[in-house]
Every structure is written in structure tokens, then in C-alpha cells.
Structure 1
Amino acid sequence: MAPLGKAISDGYDGPPDVDSDTKVYRGDVDPEWTVGHVPNGGYALALVLEAGIQHQSSTAHRDPIHVTAHFLQATSIAPFQVRVRTLKHGRGFTNILADLVQQDRTRIATHIIFGTLEPPRLAPPSRYARRVPLYVHPSVAVETRMARPWGFKHHAKWAGDPHLRAHNLPDSPARRDVSSTTVGGGTLAWGAWFELVGPGERVTPASIAFFADTFLNMPSLLPRDERGGLVPDQTWFPTITLTISFQAPIPPPSARHSARTVGLYSTGTFWGQPQGRHDAYVEVWTAPSDLGQGIEKDGWRENQVCLATATQMALALPMEVNAGRAKYDAPPKAKL
């Protein structure tokens, strides 16, 4: 039971085993970084990323650039292996395959590209550069409740952006009726400042996988009469695929950039059947300060950097399925 940084990096119990071209990293899933009874998908992917980062640590290509993950089966609170194999080593990039395995079953299969991250070329003051899409500075942001069955709530806190929530109201200018000639529309948005509160917590490349999977999705943001009976706090949203593109290196802590807080922004557009399949787009940004700290200064948005963008496909299932998943993976009881 540990803060996020330790739950990721301290999960490995020694040097990797070497078998042919595959290195095997072993560890234990922390029991607190869960949604209901199942490990958070982003946390589980962070374990895979950390193994890949260790695998590449002595090479010229140390930075994760892009990861595509397929969640073949929910992970469990149990020992795990990450089996890493180099697929291709080139001049600019190294491609590796990394699978998280539990109980001899592949739970997560990933393809990760490593290379060298550099500061973005398209940045302010360019008029074409994207700025952090949150309205409220962390120093004045109001902490909001984490309502979901997240086992890690005491390790973190967040402050949702009220301006983005207003975007989702039925009478918002973003909503359009059937007679409107406006093209597109319909997208829901959400954003928040997210702070890790454990001692010594830091934003790391591996932890970005967790941040990219921690947000309020489209089914949760819809008005109650549009949800078709779905109750967010009684629903499990398992990730099926998750793709992360790392956009910039993490800046060192300074008066401009927090060490433990990030800005999260997400949008969702499509939700349908079967099994409540829906999409999400997420951006992970640096933050100018921790919640309730710092001073709002002119131009603070210009100094923030988008660390990563992510897209995912997820489902909407009853929490009973989540609990059943845990029972399925429980070790058999010893006979008396």
C-alpha cells in the first residue's frame, strides 16, 4: 500500500530474468490503486511502462514516445510479470513489445516506441500553439469530491473546472437542436487539476499512463435523463484499448511547474452498444502550482506544456461485473 510513485517503481523485486530475447520483470500489484475490486487500467499500464523504461534505461532511446495497449483481460491484485522483447532497434526509435501476465494469462499487450523527447516546436507565443484548456488557476480552484469507487482517493485530490462542466448543460451554447444548421456539436468536455498527495510524489513518464485513464467520461457527464438508466457510481468503465502519445519531456519543478500536480482535459463524443462502448480523448498538462498554492500571474497558461495526449475505447458495465472479476481471479481456498 503506497503512494503512486512507489506503487509503480517499487513493485519490481530485483533484476529481470533473461530468457532468449525476452526479459521478465516481476512485481506485485498494489491493492489500493483500484476501481472497485480491480486495479485501475492506467495504473496497470504504468507498471508495463515502468518495465519498458527500465529495459531501455541503458540505451540511447530512453523516453517513451508512443504506447498502444490492448486490455485483453482485467488485471487482479496479485503478483505479475512484464515480459519485454525488443522488436526493432533503429537509428531514431526502438520498438518493444511488453505484456503484463498474471496466472499465466496475458492481461495487457502493448507495443511501445522509445526515442528522445524534446520540447515542442509549436509553442506560445505562436498563434497556432495550443494552450492549457483549463479556465481556473490551481491556486483558486475548489477541490471537488471523487465520487467513484476509487481505492486511491486518499492518495490524491482534484478540482474540477466549473466552466467546462457548464459546457455540458442542456442550455449551453455547445448544445444544438435538430433544426440547427451548425455542423458537428454534441461533444461533452471535462477538466480538472489532479494532485498526488503522498510524500515525495512526482509526476513521472510511467505515471502519465495513470493520469491518462483518470477522468470523467461521457456517460458520467450526460444529464440524468440522457443516461438511459446508467448510474455512474454503480458502473464500471473498463478500458479496452488505450493509446498514449508523449508530447514533451516533464519539466523540472519550478515556480512555473508543479512537481506533483497535472492538468487533465477530456472530451467524449460517441456512446453506444454493445456493452456501453464509448470513446474518450484526454490531454495531460503540467500545472503552474499545487491546489491552493502559488499565485495567479498573467500569462501563466503560456508556460504550461502538454505532456501527453491519449485516446481510448471503454465499456460501461455494472459494478457487479467488477466484483465478479475479482472473485474469478481469487486463489482457491485451501482444503481443511
Structure 2
Amino acid sequence: GYVAGLVLDALMRSQLGTPHEDPLQLTAYFLKFLEQGPFEVHVRALRRGSAFTNLSATLVQKAEQKVTTLAIFGVLTPSSRDERNVTVAPPSRFAAPFPLYTHPSQCAKVTETPRWDFLPLLQITRDPHYAKIFAKQGPSMQLGHYFTLKNPADRVTTQSLPFFLDNYMSFAHVTLLRNKIDPYKSRPATLAFSVEFKFPIPKQDSPHHSLRSVAVLNKGQFVNDPCARHETYLEVWTAPTDVGDRNAGTEDWKHHQRCLAICHQTSMIIPLATKKVKRSGPKL
């Protein structure tokens, strides 16, 4: 997710000043392991139309192609000149509901300690509704979390959404635990990462949204050999307040939240011996 965010940032920079500055869809394929160090992102325009721009991007490190990406850019904000307004959003009864059941002020902090280098930068709470479902150990998995950037100066940006969409506990990780296999002797490796952007980041003066928090829902239900190949579906939404803020807000707080992006991932679990890495551990 972090790498996809870096590629997305390069794509967005290449589109500045064009009619299509907003990413609508991005699919990244991870070809080889990346290392901490310098890299380049080579961007190429495949097609520029009146409504959409199609781009490709390749992340290159040490003269090797590590990630290849296809993206579609356009305009996320509906035009006032467009007579057709078919965006489905609250208060429409057909709008997708906010997927978390509990306000951030009523959620308990996550007790697990994932081995993430960036964990000190985040505050994380888990929706108790999904915690109960998770405890039942059913045939699939759903979890809902709130993430808050601890630094008051930090802000949720479009480029940061892939990062938030990559912070989760996978069903494959849970399957290893259930089979009494130490998941810390392996690591997740992403094969494909696809994001579709839905609504723009709220304005900074919005009274209904946090500037540095998001809500994330993740679902998984299949694990297959080889390498515990598994899929994960995720949604990232706006959040009403920051983690730790005890202001419960108004009763209609859910109706003001918007889905920022959805994501489909294909990943696998590989032994650490396959590739020595500095960081290991599950996605939350």
C-alpha cells in the first residue's frame, strides 16, 4: 500500500494542470521485492480523452522493474454543468451505509502489537461489533477499524489512501494461527493491488469529518495453495472524529460519512527465508 501510494503520488504530479487531476482507478502489479532506497517512477500517457486519461507507471529500482501500474484519471467532483446527477449518496435510501457500527469514541484500542515500523505514528481502535464476529472464528473474516494519524499536523490525502487500505489482518494470517503455525515466521507479499476512488477528500472546514482519521473495513474468505494465496476486499471511509476524542457527535453522524475508495488485493504468505526483510509480521 505504501508503495502504491508512492506510485500514485507520481501519477498525480504528472497530471497537475491537466483537465483530469483526480485518480479514478489504479491497479498495481508487484513483480519483484522492493528494498529501502532510491527509486524512479516512469509515467506514460496511454490515452487522453475528453472524460478520462489512461496512464501507465513503472517503478524502477536498481535498473529493474519492480511494480507496473495502470491508472485512470478524471474528475471526482461532479460538474455543476452536468445535467445528469446520478451519484448515489446519503440521504438516498439506495446509498451504501457506513460499514462501521460504532462511533470512534466508543471503540476500544487495538490490543495486538503488529510488527510495523510505522505503528508509533498511528492510533487504532476496533469496532466492537466486528470484534465479536471475529471472536466467533467463522468461515470468513470481517474487521472494522478507525485509524488516526498521531501528528496533529498530518492530514489524510488521496495519496495516503493506499497506505490505509493495506493495514489489516488477513484471513490467511488467521488461518495460520488456527492451524498452530507461527505467522511471524512468514510475511505477506502482495501480488496485485487495485483501488477505485469514490468520493473526494472532504474539505478541511467540514464539521462532520476528521482531517487525520479514516474508517477501514476489510473482508476475506478464501485461502488457497500455493503460498496461502488469498484475497481481501477493503473499503476506506471518512471518520467523524479522531481516535481518543470523546465527543460522540450528533445522532446522524453516519449519514455524513463518505466512501473514499474500495480495494481488492491478491496476496500470498511466504517464508521469511525466501527473502530477508527488515520488517515482518501480519497486516492488522
> Are the aligned partners of 2:177 and 2:183 in contact in 1 as well (CA < 8 Å)?
no
CA spacing shift, 1:100–1:146, aligned 2, 3 Å: farther
Alpha-carbon offset, residue 215 of structure 1? 1.1
Alpha-carbon offset, residue 58 of structure 1? 1.1
Aligned match of 1:149: 115
Long gaps (5+) in structure 2: 79-85, 280-284
The correspondence of residues 1-336 of structure 1 with structure 2, limited to 5 A, is 42-118=1-77, 121-170=87-136, 175=138, 186-222=139-175, 224-225=177-178, 228-253=179-204, 254-293=206-245, 294-323=247-276
The code of the aligned residue for 1:268 comes to G
After superposition, the C-alpha distances for 1:153-183 in whole angstroms (9 at most, x for unaligned) are 1111211122112213447xxx5xxxxxxxx
Alpha-carbon offset, residue 232 of structure 1? 3.4
Alpha-carbon offset, residue 324 of structure 1? 5.6
Question: More relative contact order in 1 or in 2 (CA 8 Å, sep 6+)?
Answer: 2
Alpha-carbon offset, residue 233 of structure 1? 3.7
CA spacing shift, 1:168–1:145, aligned 2, 3 Å: closer
Alpha-carbon offset, residue 105 of structure 1? 0.6
Alpha-carbon offset, residue 199 of structure 1? 4.5
CA spacing shift, 1:259–1:325, aligned 2, 3 Å: closer
Q: Which has the larger radius of gyration?
A: 1
CA–CA distance in 1 between the matches of 2:122 and 2:25? 26
The code of the aligned residue for 2:123 comes to K
Long gaps (5+) in structure 1: 1-41, 176-185, 327-336
Q: Please state whether the residue corresponding to 2:10 is helix, strand or coil.
A: helix
Over the aligned positions, Cα root-mean-square deviation in angstroms equals 1.9
Task: Report how many residues are paired.
Answer: 270
After superposition, the C-alpha distances for 1:166-204 in whole angstroms (9 at most, x for unaligned) are 213447xxx5xxxxxxxxxx3310110011112521111
CA spacing shift, 1:200–1:248, aligned 2, 3 Å: same
CA–CA distance in 2 between the matches of 1:55 and 1:114? 11
CA–CA distance in 2 between the matches of 1:267 and 1:214? 12
Alpha-carbon offset, residue 87 of structure 1? 0.6
Alpha-carbon offset, residue 242 of structure 1? 0.5
The code of the aligned residue for 2:259 comes to C
The code of the aligned residue for 1:291 comes to V
CA–CA distance in 1 between the matches of 2:53 and 2:181? 43
> Are the aligned partners of 1:143 and 1:160 in contact in 2 as well (CA < 8 Å)?
yes
Q: Please state whether the residue corresponding to 2:173 is helix, strand or coil.
A: helix
